[in-house]
């Protein structure tokens, strides 16, 4: 059929009565859209848009745009999320344990988006979902952060034009609980430990007096305890991966690998206790399950809960012992550097969580100055 020439491109009417547009692009090749048009004015409009792209330097082959559009429509959030997690793991950007946590988060909190195309998820959908998790702020923050990361990656790969994750501070977590309800004094800890199961006395004491995380305590080996020097070395941890408790040398932060001074009274207890532990080799874990596997976090947590209930403090966690240790260190006048070194923190910001204890210490110093007046 007849073809009409234009300044940019051409339009022709097909035997079907529809109109086809085409043009020679800056790459020297002829290009046309994936579909034809009902009217010539629609074809004219398409050519005008393409010409504007050429003039502004934003032109890309329409065939590429079509492929991207198909990908936007067909790529499901759940499948793409798994792909992103696998790529980040393979590239060393996250650890196995982090990948497992991401997948668990997808399963528990982002399941409603799994079978939806990336391009079909709107900011309103995300906002409604975010509001529905208001009762679990930390879980919501983790899930939103994961979703935002996945959607940002989709934008970078041109699968979507804009991310639907636009909630201000949507990934903000509730501040860590370091209230008085989660802190034990030394006298309170003595009552607490007296109510704990005997098999878990030593790991709970180490958590309190040395400020170790649960996984760090459970990852201690015989060679990590030096009673002569009065020190312990944090060099590994026990983590749960795919339902199994495994030893991991990769600690939570780069500052996590550290040497911690053991309070003298605990050194004497550890010396006596180590003499009763069957010799299994220097690299043997100090705390094991009855079957010889690493002690599980659930087992230590249950022991801590039993002791917490016995003293009327059921909300205490094993991690509360670490909080207590940090509070005691702050009250004793430890500097920021000393706190970071002892507790394996890579940022001074962590020390500010114990500012209430630092203020109490400052008031005590002020009172001593006043007494000297």
Residue 72 C-alpha from the chain's centroid: 27
Least confident range of 24-33, 216-225, 295-304: 24-33
pLDDT at 124 over 60: yes
Alpha-carbon distances, residue 44 vs 27, 112, 229, 302 (angstroms): 21, 42, 84, 72
Q: Which of 302-306, 312-316, 351-355 has the lowest mean pLDDT?
A: 351-355
Summarised one tens digit per residue, pLDDT across range 254-266 is 677 899 999 999 9
Q: Beta strands 10-13 and 19-24: pairing type?
A: antiparallel
pLDDT tier at 178, thresholds 50, 70, 90: very low
The phi and psi torsions of 214 (rounded to 5 degrees) equal: -55, -50
- CA atoms of 213 and 12, how far apart (whole Å): 73
Cα distances (Å, whole numbers) of residue 140 to 122, 127, 136, 169, 234? 18, 12, 6, 12, 31
Quick check: 4 pLDDT over 70?
Answer: no
Highest mean pLDDT among 32-36, 37-41, 93-97, 227-231: 227-231
Rounded-to-integer distance, Cα 151 and Cα 55, Å: 31
- Write down the mean pLDDT value for the chain: 85
**pLDDT at position 2:** 47
Statement: residue 79 has pLDDT above 80: yes
pTM of the model: 0.62
pLDDT at 321 over 90: yes
**pLDDT for res 180:** 52
Average pLDDT over residues 227-247: 89
Q: How confident is the model at residue 209 (pLDDT cuts 50, 70, 90)?
A: very high
Helices (H), 110-199: 123-132, 137-156, 186-194
Instruction: Write down the pLDDT at residue 348.
Output: 83
Instruction: Return the pLDDT at 30.
Output: 86
pLDDT > 90: percent of the chain: 46
| pLDDT band at residue 96 under the 50/70/90 scheme | confident
Show the tokens assigned to 76. 């499901």
pLDDT of residue 247: 86
Q: Is the pLDDT of residue 357 over 90?
A: no
Cβ(339)–Cβ(351) under 8 Å? Answer: yes
Q: Does residue 182 or residue 286 have the better pLDDT?
A: 286
Is pLDDT of 49 > 70? yes
Q: Which residue has the tokens 């391009």?
A: 119
Of the CA atoms within 13 Å of residue 219, those in its CB half-sphere come to: 23
The Cα 324–Cα 358 span in angstroms is: 13
Query: How does strand 244-248 pair with strand 225-226?
Result: unpaired
- The neighbour count for residue 132, using CB atoms within 10 Å, is 12
Mean of pLDDT values over 204-231: 95
The whole-number pLDDT of residue 291 equals 87
């Amino acid at each position: 059929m007849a073809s009409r020439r234009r300044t940019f491109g051409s339009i022709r009417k097909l035997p079907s009565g529809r109109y086809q547009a085409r043009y020679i692009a800056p790459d020297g090749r002829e290009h046309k859209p994936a579909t034809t048009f009902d009217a010539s004015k629609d074809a004219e409009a398409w050519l005008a848009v393409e010409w504007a792209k050429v003039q502004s330097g934003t032109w890309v082959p329409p065939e590429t745009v079509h492929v991207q559009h198909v990908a936007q429509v067909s790529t499901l959030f759940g499948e793409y999320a798994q792909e992103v997690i696998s790529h980040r793991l393979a590239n060393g950007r996250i650890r196995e344990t982090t990948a497992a946590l991401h997948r668990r988060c997808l399963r528990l909190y982002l399941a409603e988006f799994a079978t939806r195309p990336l391009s079909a998820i709107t900011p309103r959908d995300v906002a409604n979902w975010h509001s529905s998790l208001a009762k679990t702020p930390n879980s919501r923050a983790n899930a939103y952060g994961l979703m935002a990361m996945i959607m940002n990656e989709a934008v970078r790969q041109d699968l979507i034009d804009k991310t639907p994750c636009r909630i201000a501070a949507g990934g903000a977590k509730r501040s860590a609980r370091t209230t008085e309800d989660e802190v034990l004094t030394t006298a309170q800890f003595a009552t607490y430990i007296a109510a704990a199961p005997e098999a878990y006395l030593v790991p709970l004491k180490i958590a309190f007096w040395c400020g170790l995380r649960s996984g760090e305590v459970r990852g201690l080996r015989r060679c990590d305890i030096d009673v002569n020097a009065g020190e312990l070395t944090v060099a590994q941890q026990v983590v749960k991966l795919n339902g199994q408790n495994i030893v991991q040398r990769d600690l939570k932060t780069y500052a996590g690998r550290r040497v911690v001074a053991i309070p003298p009274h605990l050194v004497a207890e550890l010396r006596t206790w180590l003499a009763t532990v069957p010799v299994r080799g220097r690299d043997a874990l100090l705390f094991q399950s009855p079957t010889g596997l690493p002690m599980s976090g659930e087992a230590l947590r249950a022991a801590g809960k039993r002791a917490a209930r016995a003293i009327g403090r059921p909300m205490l966690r094993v991690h509360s012992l670490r909080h207590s240790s940090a509070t005691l260190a702050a009250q004793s006048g430890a500097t920021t550097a000393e706190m970071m070194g002892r507790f394996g923190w890579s940022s001074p910001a962590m020390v500010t969580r114990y500012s209430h204890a630092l203020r109490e210490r400052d008031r005590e110093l002020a009172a001593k100055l006043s007494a000297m007046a």
